[in-house]
Chain A
């Protein structure tokens, strides 16, 4: 079956390429502000300073990747001019920087601006200016809303899809489960929780025996784990960020609780979560993923992973390969390059959105095998499938089919 879909994908990709080249050959050169015969100007906003500065590495990876593209001759002969500003994760500053990019630097569009609050702050502005706010770097579900915000599009699978997938799996394999949930008390945690409840449906809601929340300011979450164990839950949904996830895995093993453990993708890194928590404590944890994990030995000889590592060595040697941000930045930059290639000589803002919404079975090779990027006029969620995986030995074993769950905003 996978072989057949692979051939089909190749065939449709070839067709798409032919169609694209045929249409560009006849099309006139058309430009909006920010694009010329020699240059495409792209804006970006990242928290290089402030509380979320760890994510700044995504922007730096993208800058390095566009340098690679420029060194190789650019896109259809045009060089990328990547203008990236710091907003320190403060929404008013994001508005200022977005306006600077659009009105003063006159970029063609803003790409991969990071964070839910910063992107919420500029969404209305970008849409009223009709400037694309493309592939925003946040997993909130609301970016997939082409009816109300036709100029905003996400990239990564949204948080709700992921817990919906867990819910589907639980309903199928453990219909009588008693579920205990631990979640971070903010937009990220609440989005995940909503996906879980939606996925479980009306009947399933009664399966949740306890919803426990924690604040990022708490030094440890041990007491929450003890409380969850006391409810007698046999399924544990772990919606926590890396530091807390590692604590939770350790504590569960310590107190001898043996639930079926679902760990959210945010904390599925072998290097930064599983290893510190201990391999012996992490056996049989279930998670879901869409990207290959650099620290996972099974991708050692994978061509896509090699491409990524070569790029890192040559263009971004000071960047940390094990940081999840670098591989995300690489993947999303590749997706953008694909969109711009498809735009041909028609570099209007409208066409950029149109091409971004016409990706068919596109793959960047850092995605897990079988996961493809598909968008459409009514589907602004580029990556909407994930694959379940179970931790065995010292690596994640993918199992089951790639499951898709499109959650709309």
Chain B
């Protein structure tokens, strides 16, 4: 093994081994969060509902990355590409083929699964930082691919595509925003339950075995190649669903929406939320949506610098992200109960 390879192998340890029980929230907490998510929209303005919808959507995208990195230990800076494919699949199907928005979502999932799985094949030969670079290339290439002339008829080229926002079905007395929120919430809950179960299943154990030690995993009979590509496929599919929902909520897709910045934001969301802790994905999503706004309100000219300082504080004070805060909170609650 060359020196470089050793560094890469060590790189795997960057993803900490998270026991599978610690990947989720307790039942009680989950129910409280769910109840809040169900009730809050009734009392707030449409704009807040829109922000909550975006939070769920980015949360899903971060969750997808969390399965890939926290679950199977593979890095990706290319999630924006999968997000774009999902968004464009929905937008093109809705606007050119008049397919119902709800039906475009499973189609996006299948398309992105295929895309992710195929990308996972050549990526098998890479790991650690090299894999991160390969996915980075994917993310930088995607906006330009979407601008290609021969695709322009469908994608709208640089001008993008405007997507029609769906009305609430069955004549429900809801605004479009509220309906879309509950629709997104439903999809999010389904995917969250699926993800939790996936990580607790045989496949999930295989992912984690690969993450912790690839050689040991393969000697125990885990088909490393299959599970690594599978993790890419699943992650891409969930990111694609998030992309589809994002396109419907924002009502617009354009190449400039899906640049490398988005991929880095998602990566950042995952780290801030806690790598490998699924509920943290949504905390991370909140961070990438709201903290730039906060930074801007502190200083317009230096918003980037303020954001950097805030990020630095988070990494320095709570390096394990939201998970660390949750654990601290749990311990504190335990102490209080004893007293």
B254: CB under 8 A from chain A? yes
How far, in Å, is B1 (CB) from chain A's closest CB? 37
- Nearest Cβ distance between residue B178 and chain A, in whole angstroms? 13
What is the CB-to-nearest-CB distance from A279 to chain B, in angstroms, rounded to a whole number?
A: 35
Q: Does B160 contact A (CB under 8 A)?
A: yes
CA distance A103 to B45 in the complex (A): 8
Q: B252 an interface residue at 8 Å Cβ cutoff?
A: yes
Q: Closest 8 CB pairs between A and B?
A: A103-B47, A121-B252, A187-B158, A117-B254, A117-B256, A91-B257, A92-B250, A104-B47
A96 with B51: in contact, given A49-B304, A117-B254 (CB under 8 Å)? yes
Contacts of B254 in A (CB 8 A): 91, 117, 120-121
Q: Which DSSP category, helix, strand, loop or mixed, fits chain A's interface?
A: helix
CB of A88 closer than 8 Å to a CB of B? yes
A117-B255, A120-B159 given; 17 more Cβ-contact pairs under 8 Å: A48-B296, A86-B303, A89-B256, A91-B160, A91-B254, A91-B256, A99-B46, A99-B50, A103-B46, A104-B47, A117-B159, A120-B160, A121-B160, A121-B251, A124-B252, A187-B158, A190-B157
Contact between chains at B47 and A95 (CB < 8 Å): no
Q: Which of B47, B159, B261, B296 contacts A50 (CB 8 A)?
A: B261
Nearest-CB residue, chain B, relative to A121: B252
Docked-complex contact A48 and B300, CB < 8 angstroms: yes
Among B144, B147, B160, B251, find the residue whose CB has the most chain A CB atoms closer than 10 A. Answer: B251
B246 within 8 A of A: yes
The one of B48, B50, B259, B289 that contacts A90, using a Cβ cutoff of 8 Å? B259
B162 at the interface (CB under 8 A from A): yes
A125 CB–B CB distance under 8 Å: yes
* Chain A proximity of B48: nearest CB distance (Å): 8
A186 close to chain B: CB less than 8 A: yes
Please report the C-alpha to C-alpha distance between residue A187 and residue B254 in the assembled complex, in whole angstroms.
12
Contact digits for A95-132, partner B, Cβ 8 Å, 1 yes 0 no: 11001101110000000000011001111110000000
Whether A88 lies near B45 (C-beta < 8 A) is no
* A318 CB to nearest chain B CB (Å): 9
Chain B, interface size: which category? 20 to 34
B246–A117 touching, CB < 8 Å: no
Residues of A within 8 A of B292 (CB): 86, 88
Query: What separation, in Å, do the CA atoms of A49 and B303 have in the docked complex?
Result: 8
25 A–B contact pairs at CB < 8 A?
Answer: A48-B296, A48-B301, A48-B303, A51-B259, A84-B300, A86-B292, A86-B300, A88-B261, A90-B256, A91-B160, A91-B257, A96-B51, A99-B46, A99-B47, A103-B46, A104-B47, A116-B158, A117-B158, A121-B160, A121-B254, A124-B251, A124-B252, A186-B158, A187-B157, A215-B144
Question: A95 — which chain B residues lie within 8 A by C-beta?
Answer: 250-252
Contacts of A51 in B (CB 8 A): 259
Q: Which of B51, B252, B296 is the most central at the interface, judged by chain A CB atoms within 10 Å of its CB? A: B252
Residue numbers in A under 8 Å from B252 (CB-CB): 91-92, 95, 120-122, 124
Complex Cα gap A51–B257 (Å): 12
Q: What 1/0 mask marks residues of chain B from 179 to 195 whose CB sits below 8 Å from any chain A CB?
A: 00000000000000000
CB of A85 closer than 8 Å to a CB of B: yes
> Which residues does chain B contribute within 8 Å of A90, judged by CB atoms?
256-257, 259, 261-262
The complex places the Cα of A123 from the Cα of B48 at a distance, in Å, of 20
Residues of B within 8 A of A50 (CB): 261
Whether B147 and A186, one on each chain, are in contact in the complex, defined by CB atoms closer than 8 angstroms, is yes
Q: Does B56 contact A (CB under 8 A)?
A: no
Q: Name the B residues within 8 Å of A91 (CB-CB).
A: 160, 250, 252, 254, 256-257
**Which A52-107 residues have a C-beta within 8 angstroms of B?**
84-86, 88-92, 95-96, 99-100, 102-104
What is the CA–CA distance of A116 and B261 in the complex, to the nearest angstrom? 19
Interface centre among A85, A88, A120 (most CB of B within 10 A): A120
**Distance to closest chain A CB from B128 (angstroms):** 27
| Contact string against A for B residues 267-280, beta-carbon threshold 8 Å, 1 for contact and 0 otherwise | 00000000000000
Q: Is the CB of B160 within 8 A of A117?
A: yes
Cβ–Cβ < 8 Å partners of B45 in chain A: 103-104
Tell yes or no: B54 within 8 A of A by CB.
yes
> Which residues on A sit within 8 Å (CB–CB) of B158?
116-117, 186-187, 190
* In the complex, per-residue mask of B18-56: 1 if CB is within 8 Å of any chain A CB, else 0: 000000000000000000000000000111101100100
- Considering only residues 125-184 of chain A, those with a C-beta below 8 Å from chain B are 125
Closest residue of chain A to B144, judged by CB?
A: A215
Cα distance A116–B255 when bound, in Å? 12
List the B side residues contacting A102 at CB < 8 Å.
47
Find out whether the CB atom of B246 lies under 8 angstroms from the CB atom of A116.
Answer: no
Residue of chain B at shortest CB distance from A95? B250
Q: Given that A50-B261, A104-B47, A120-B252 are known contacts, is A96 also in contact with B54, CB under 8 Å in the complex?
A: yes
Chain A residues within 8 Å of B259, by CB:
51, 90
Give the docked Cα–Cα distance between A12 and B177 (Å). Answer: 48
CA distance A84 to B303 in the complex (A): 13
* Interchain nearest-CB distance for A407 vs B (Å): 16
**A190–B157 Cα gap in the complex (Å)?**
11
A92 to B252, CA, bound (A): 8
* Alpha-carbon separation in the docked complex, A124 to B144 (Å): 25
A9 to B209, CA, bound (A): 81
Asked if B162 contacts A120 (CB within 8 A), the reply is yes
Write the nearest CB–CB distance from B250 to chain A, whole angstroms. 5
Residue of B nearest to A140 (CB): B159
Quick one: closest B residue to A124, CB to CB?
Answer: B162
Interface centre among B45, B48, B51, B158 (most CB of A within 10 A): B158
Residues of B within 8 A of A89 (CB): 256
